[in-house]
Amino acid sequence: MHPAVSNQPELQPRADGAATILRLLSASSPNWPEVALVVARDPALSLALLVAQPLAEGELADGLNTVLRHRLERIGSDLLRAWLLGLGSRGSAIDAAPDRALMRAECALHLAMETGYARPDEAYLAGLWRGFGACARSRGNTSADTRRAARTTRPLAELVRDCGLPASLGDALELGAVMEEQLQGAHPLLRLSVAAERLADDDWQERLDEIGRLSGLAEPTLTSLRTDIGYIVSGHAAYPPPAAGSTALDARPPASLAEDPYRSAGMLGLLTAAFVDLERTEIEDRLAIACPLFGLPAAPVLLSADAAGRLAPMLDTPPGSPTALIEELHLRLDDEASIIALCARSEQVTVFAPQGGRPGRSLADWQVARWLGGDGFCCLPLTTNGHPSVALIAIDHGNELASELQWRYAALLGAAVRALRAALRQQHALADREALLQQRFREHVRKIAHEATNPLTVLKSRLEMLGLERPEDAPLQNEMVLLNTELDRIDNLLRSAGDLPVETVEAARCRVPELLLDLRSIYGDALFNEHGIQLELRAAKGVPVAAIPPSALKQVLLNLFRNASEALLPGQRLVVSVSSQVSVDGKSCVEIRLVDNGPGLPTDRVADLFSPRPSSKGGGHQGVGLSIVREILSQWNATILCRSQPGSGTSFQIFLPLEHSV
């Protein structure tokens, strides 16, 4: 279920930090590590990013700056600038003295490293976020929002949990004033946090005894540590100064975007650029991390009217999710009872807030509110180019969205909806173009197949005449049957070439000796006898059935036969032998061994034999035959090995699993 939006805190960044990030993002290629460094010094920005995309297990081990950089790159420069531009002047929940937060963080980090605490970045965040306390304010700037702030505030420990951080960090943040003896036996992060706070105070020198007892470090070590940290905070960690001629953000922009047309136009342009030209999955991914930044705990349900007048979801619908359940309601645009349909038709904001738990006119609306996890929900119209669309946002009872938030959410979600529609149009256009190309291709292939049937018919007629002329020649009659079978197969392949691929299942069982005899009958003369090359077949008795389709093994062996035919000279030979059964890695297999006494392969070719490479044979050769061989065999859990020496011949071993072993 989606939590109500009114519980999301307003996380205000430092003005100088926001200005620095905006300057860094103005470059043609943003320096994300530098931006991440600024974010890591800002309590609000760092917390907001980790709430937007919680930490995966063990991710913080890569370092806080790396973690933040990955999130910033996922957001992108346009969306990040739009978010910073959209933050109002509602004041900050952070420490009144901003440098104190950074001083506490650096003290906690260095104490953790000096004492061997296993997760120093957690200690850093404990010091950085300590100034938030329970003052995280809810979004909104109206007097009604201010009066409700106490009811909508979320404890900082909940935000820490939402970030994927351990509860011990939340304890360190919410720990009030305690006596030193109370910390005995507590989690080490609590002691480190209190010691860091003492070390960051102006009177730290007077409290070295207490800090030493809490941290277990000697006074000289603490003094040296504090001096180094003071240098870091005052020098290396300072924000870059504004560029010459630029204006620093001494005061925050006006609270209401609607009252500042320049700021609102800039934000709309940045949001549009943030989603434009993205694939559907990319839009959904960017929206998923953008929504928490803009105050929405998760991407809301987006509904759009289709050609049949049904309000269908625009985003993916995982089974059992609120979106999937809403899809099963089959909401319609012409529903006179639903405030969702009313919002889509009228393009006006509507709110569903049941009184006393009663469903009201629309039972569907009542169910939607329950599924979204709020007392009610707000419908924001997002109609674009005549296509009615709405966003459903859960709210708490009596906490309707202020106009500022309505504008902000509509701007974000409207940009995403426009991009989703553009992606859908592009997808349909590509599908239409693909269908047209496939139709033209099928027509072209059918023409070729029709023309090819004429020479095939001539060949079959000639074979039939030869058979009639020599009816007593039994070997010839057998060869005629095999050749006619292959010609029929070619004819069928040509006729089906223009059809769309159809899933066909060929039995994965092959009698290898019989297949080899068929191959010799059909291709023996053309590949070997006519070139003066001997082809010998040897098979053990009782060879078991191999677990590979005959067509697949035929393609493998034909590739190897052709290679041997092209490499061997008159008088040389290829011996193909089949064993009854061998064991390979504990698996029963049929072994096919192909051994020739030809010139062998170059040493460099043997080292990378089964990778595609340009062929040295010329003509139509592409150098991919052996790579195809290995690919086909791997599909059926078979393997192939090669041994070769220049001047001493080449041998291939193929191991095919038995039918009963797969």
State whether residue 388 is helix, strand or coil. coil
Confidence label for 147 from pLDDT (cuts 50, 70 and 90)? very low
What the block records as the tokens of 624 is: 């991919």
d(C-alpha 185, C-alpha 52), whole Å: 34
d(C-alpha 290, C-alpha 201), whole Å: 37
Segment 198-243, tens digit of pLDDT: 999 999 999 999 999 999 999 999 999 999 998 888 865 445 555 5
- DSSP string covering 42-55: -HHHHHHHHHHSPP
d(C-alpha 471, C-alpha 475), whole Å: 10
Question: Given this model, what pLDDT does residue 250 score?
Answer: 43
d(C-alpha 548, C-alpha 540), whole Å: 19
Integer angstrom CA distances of residue 310 from 180, 347, 389, 581? 65, 16, 11, 64
Asked whether the predicted pLDDT for residue 1 surpasses 60, the reply is no
Question: Given this model, what pLDDT does residue 91 score?
Answer: 41
Asked whether the predicted pLDDT for residue 430 surpasses 90, the reply is no
Confidence label for 501 from pLDDT (cuts 50, 70 and 90)? low
CA dihedral (542, 543, 547, 550) in degrees, to 10, reads -110
Closest to 322 measured CA to CA, from 395, 362, 370, 371? 371
Averaged over 319-345, what is the pLDDT? 92
What the block records as the tokens of 414 is: 């409207």
d(C-alpha 167, C-alpha 171), whole Å: 6
257-427, CATH topology level: Beta-Lactamase (3.30.450)
Asked whether the predicted pLDDT for residue 89 surpasses 60, the reply is no
Q: How does the average pLDDT of the chain come out, rounded?
A: 82
Asked whether the predicted pLDDT for residue 588 surpasses 60, the reply is yes
**75-79, 183-187, 251-255: least confidently modelled range:** 251-255
* CB-CB neighbours of 440 under 10 Å: 10
Closest to 412 measured CA to CA, from 152, 80, 159? 80
Averaged over 443-464, what is the pLDDT? 79
Cβ atoms of 126 and 108 closer than 8 Å = yes
Question: Given this model, what pLDDT does residue 4 score?
Answer: 56
Confidence label for 445 from pLDDT (cuts 50, 70 and 90)? confident
Confidence label for 11 from pLDDT (cuts 50, 70 and 90)? low
How far is C-alpha 543 from the chain's CA centre?
Answer: 48
d(C-alpha 174, C-alpha 157), whole Å: 7
Asked whether the predicted pLDDT for residue 113 surpasses 90, the reply is yes
Domain limits of the chain? 5-236, 257-427, 438-496, 512-661
DSSP H/E element including 654: strand 649-657
The angle formed by the CA atoms of residues 338, 339 and 341, to the nearest 5 degrees, is: 70
CATH class of 512-661: alpha beta
What the block records as the tokens of 182 is: 């109370």
Averaged over 180-194, what is the pLDDT? 89
What the block records as the tokens of 601 is: 């392969």
Cβ atoms of 117 and 302 closer than 8 Å = no
**94-108, 126-140, 435-449: least confidently modelled range:** 126-140
Question: Given this model, what pLDDT does residue 120 score?
Answer: 94
Confidence label for 122 from pLDDT (cuts 50, 70 and 90)? very high
Question: Given this model, what pLDDT does residue 182 score?
Answer: 86
d(C-alpha 219, C-alpha 211), whole Å: 9
Averaged over 290-308, what is the pLDDT? 87
Q: Which residue has the tokens 């018919």?
A: 457
Cβ atoms of 553 and 635 closer than 8 Å = no
Q: Can you list the alpha helix ranges (DSSP code H) found in 568-615?
A: 603-607
Asked whether the predicted pLDDT for residue 110 surpasses 70, the reply is yes
φ, ψ dihedrals at 457, nearest 5°? -65, -40
Integer angstrom CA distances of residue 473 from 518, 529, 530? 19, 20, 21
54 or 93, which is more confident: 54
Averaged over 624-628, what is the pLDDT? 74
φ, ψ dihedrals at 311, nearest 5°? -85, 100
Over its C-alpha atoms, the chain yields an Rg (Å, rounded) of 37
d(C-alpha 537, C-alpha 245), whole Å: 87
Q: Can you list the alpha helix ranges (DSSP code H) found in 177-218?
A: 188-200, 208-215
529 or 140, which is more confident: 529
Asked whether the predicted pLDDT for residue 96 surpasses 50, the reply is no
Question: Given this model, what pLDDT does residue 6 score?
Answer: 47
How far is C-alpha 412 from the chain's CA centre?
Answer: 22
Q: At CB < 8 A and 24+ separation, what contacts does 383-389 make?
A: 383/344, 383/347, 384/414, 384/417, 384/418, 384/421, 385/421, 387/304, 387/305, 387/421, 388/304, 388/305, 388/311, 388/333, 388/344, 388/345, 388/347, 389/302, 389/303, 389/304, 389/305, 389/314, 389/344, 389/417
Q: Can you list the alpha helix ranges (DSSP code H) found in 240-332?
A: 261-275, 280-293, 322-329
| DSSP 8-state assignment for residue 384 | B
Question: Quick check: pTM over 0.85?
Answer: no
Question: Given this model, what pLDDT does residue 124 score?
Answer: 95
Q: Can you list the alpha helix ranges (DSSP code H) found in 116-236?
A: 120-129, 143-152, 156-162, 167-174, 188-200, 208-215, 219-231
CA count, 13 A, side-chain hemisphere, 109: 19
* CB-CB neighbours of 436 under 10 Å: 10
d(C-alpha 477, C-alpha 469), whole Å: 11
d(C-alpha 149, C-alpha 152), whole Å: 5
Segment 521-547, tens digit of pLDDT: 888 888 899 889 999 999 998 899 999
Closest to 239 measured CA to CA, from 489, 513, 34, 27? 34
What the block records as the tokens of 169 is: 């960090």
Span between the terminal Cα atoms of the chain, in Å: 45
> 5-236 has which CATH code?
1.10.3210.10
State whether residue 204 is helix, strand or coil. helix
Confidence label for 576 from pLDDT (cuts 50, 70 and 90)? very high
374 or 312, which is more confident: 312
Segment 317-330, tens digit of pLDDT: 888 889 999 999 99
Averaged over 381-386, what is the pLDDT? 85
Q: Above pLDDT 90, what percent of the chain?
A: 42
* CB-CB neighbours of 548 under 10 Å: 29
Closest to 5 measured CA to CA, from 378, 363, 545? 378
